[in-house]
Amino acid sequence: MISGKSRYVNNPVVLVSSSRGPVVTIAPAVPQTRVVDFSYVSLREGDRIDLMALRLYGDERLWWKIADANPEILDWTDVAFGTVLRVPSG
C-alpha cells in the first residue's frame, strides 16, 4: 500500500515480468499540469532537507516535496548556506 503522503500516491501499482518472475512495481504517473503555491526560504547553517521538511511540514519524510520544487539542486549534501529554496505549501 502506498502512503497517502507519498509522492507516488496517484501512481498505478502494476505486475510486470522480469527474469526472476513477476514483480509488483509502481508505474510512472501520467504527467499532469498542477499549480503549486510556494514560498522562499534561505538555507541556514545546520539545515538539512529532511530537517527543513520536519520544521515546515511536521514530517521529515516529506523532504521530497522540497527536492521536487528545486530540481536544479542535484546534490543536497553540498548546498551553500544562503541558497534560496522554493518550498511548496502543504
Cell of 73: 539542486
**Cα 25 to the chain's mean position, in Å?**
18
Q: What would the CATH number be for the domain defined by 34-88?
A: 3.10.350.10
CB 47 within 8 A of CB 78: no
CB atoms within 10 A of CB 86: 15
Summarised one tens digit per residue, pLDDT across range 51-73 is 999 999 999 999 999 998 999 99
Residue range 27-47, pLDDT digits in tens: 877 777 776 788 999 999 989
**Res 73: pLDDT:** 92
Q: For the ranges 12-16, 57-61, 80-84, which has the lowest average pLDDT? A: 12-16
Q: Where do the domains of the chain lie?
A: 1-32, 34-88
pTM: 0.63
Given this model, what pLDDT does residue 52 score?
93
